[in-house]
Amino acid sequence: MDFTSSSIHQPRRLRRPLPLPSRAPRFGNLFRKQMLLVGLLIWPLALLTMYSRVYLGYHTVAQVFAGAGLGVFLGGLWFWVVNSVLRGLFPVIEESFFGRLIKKIEFGDMERKVACCLLLKRFAVGL
């Protein structure tokens, strides 16, 4: 008696569904590009602006560093507000008019992307 012949040809059930392809690598790439942009473009421009404000006599060194410190503090405060306070509102924002419009732009086909871009352009011109 062969016990394996009856069990080999039976379809196997998956214990859990296969995961869908993740978009994490795409967002990881985007994050790396943003950090490269910040490191190679934004910080040098910020330092050049600080230097030029002192060089042209518009501000003192103390004023420039006070402004930079205030900017870092307010940026950190905004980061905290978005990540702790506004995070609960993300589903509401996502289901709003603009949230649905952005979803159509991101996940729709090319015709929808063009239509949404034209709609956004018309809305922006109307302001």
Q: Where are the domains of the chain?
A: 96-127
Q: Which whole-number Å values give the CA distances from 8 to 1, 59, 105, in the listed order?
A: 15, 81, 48
What pLDDT digit, counting tens, does each position of 23-71 carry?
A: 555 556 667 777 787 788 888 899 999 999 999 999 999 999 999 999 9
Quick one: pLDDT at residue 89?
86
Mean pLDDT (the chain, rounded): 77
